Amino acid sequence: MSIKLGDIAPNFEQDSSEGPIKFHDWIGDSWVVLFSHPADFTPVCTTELGLTAKLKDEFAARGVKAIALSVDPVESHTRWIDDINETQATVVNFPIIADHDRKVSDLYDLIHPNASDTLTVRSLFIIDPNKKVRLMITYPASTGRNFNEILRVIDSLQLTDNYKCATPGNWVDGDDVVIVPSLQDEEEIKRRFPKGYRKVKPYLRMTPQPNR
């Protein structure tokens, strides 16, 4: 199936390194980062899973859970986790889905037919507490994910969900934001953005980040 932004993330029940996962139950009221890797014992993904473990506090501060996936079995995941902990000087603190029957990979369209009938592409999904898919990124095998960008996107999504604003290019937490064009009532603008705003163009109005 083809997943689009705004779709409800497909639910599933599957084995993992931390036991069976009923995905929607596991999400609860959290945000989720779900990411796939082609196979266990792959070098780039070893660094990524180590980095994810080290970012546990950053994710927790944003109400985010991380979960990974490959088509390898639990026994392989367990051995790989030992390698990740050793080489990345961390402790893996999130589940890795053991998608041995490709059930989840098929639901999320992760099988890479141009490379293999079993290898999963390196895709990442951000899913909100309403179970909606808010971001999808697919990376080439040679390029490691930038988790600072993942955190930045989560910050932007959570901010713009709560305020009538959008975040400009290269925005990071604390920078000015854009007032959405649909908001035109000046009294409402003053109420929502009491620090005022700068009109660059009628359609481009910058204001200090409202929750800072």
Residue 97 near residue 15, CB atoms below 8 Å: yes
Sheet holding 177-179, edge to edge: 165-166, 177-179, 204-207, 198-201
Supply 183's token pair. Answer: 């908001």
SS3 (DSSP) at 15: coil
45 flagged as catalytic = yes
**Is 21 in contact with 151 (CB distance < 8 Å)?**
no
Pairing type for strands 96-98 and 64-70 reads parallel
Q: How far is CA 8 from CA 58, 59, 148, in A?
A: 25, 22, 25
**What token pair was written down for 87?**
């080489």
Half-sphere exposure of 20 (CA within 13 A, CB side): 4
What is the number of H-type helices and E-type strands within the chain?
A: 7, 11
Contacts of 56 (CB under 8 A, 6+ apart): 66, 93, 94
Catalytic residue (one of 27, 32, 33, 45): 45
Query: Catalytic positions, please?
Result: 45
